[in-house]
Amino acid sequence: MFTKRNLIIFGLLFVLILVAVLYFATLGEKQYTIEKTPPKESMTAKQAYDLASAEAKKWQADVQPVFLKTIGEVKEGKSEAWQAEFYSKSYTEAQGGPVGSPTKYNYLVTVKNKKIENTEIAESGIWGSGLPSDWRDSAEVAGQFLALPNFKNETIKEMNLYYDRAFQKWFWAVRTEKGVTGFEIR
């Protein structure tokens, strides 16, 4: 019946058939190459704003900034991604909004790794105002914030540059585990 010699022959045949099946089954598979992830390029708010503003001006020449905020990790006031929102009075009026009313649509620009990643027209009821030329950049604000005794060991979760209509001023909001702290931009 089953001799040692027959078992060895059947075993070798089984292994050869298994190898042949695996070889032919994988013959048609695609070859995958692993691409290196491009390095993350962090930016300050002013660097991101310059890119986003130039892109927004392609949409409407009269854009005014509404806000600029970090997306993701913040280190030393820099982030690899920022999102900016812009308001256009001419676009609002062209859409049938009354003169001086807040727009129903603003322009969002996302900047990532020092490149424009996304643009879109989004619903919003917010309008902005021109930024003063001497506004403090995010790296400076983060450095001053982390130098405060209560925040020396804190991690900044988000930075948001926004226009407060009630005060008619621009502010920095810095969010940590302890909450949100605001600063004037000058």
pLDDT in tens, 118-130: 999 988 878 888 8
Q: Which residue has the higher pLDDT, 53 or 9?
A: 53
| 128 close to 161: Cβ distance less than 8 angstroms | no
Of the pLDDT bands very low, low, confident and very high (cuts 50, 70, 90), residue 28 is: low
Helix (H) or strand (E) segment spanning residue 169: strand 169-176
Beta-carbon count within 10 A of 135 CB:
18
**Cα separation of 61 and 89, whole Å?**
10
> pTM score > 0.85 for this model?
no
Residue 30 has pLDDT above 80, yes or no: no
Task: Report the b/e string of 74-113 with b at 16+ CB within 10 A.
Answer: beebbbbbbbbbbbbbebbeeeeeeeeeebebbbbbbbbe
Query: Where in the chain are the domains?
Result: 45-184
- Helical (H) or strand (E) element with 45: helix 45-59
* pLDDT number for residue 21: 75
Burial 26-59, CB ≥16 within 10 A → b, else e: eeeeeeeeeeeeeeeebbbbbbbbebbbebbeee
Cα distance between residue 83 and residue 111, in whole Å: 6
Average pLDDT of the chain, as a whole number: 88
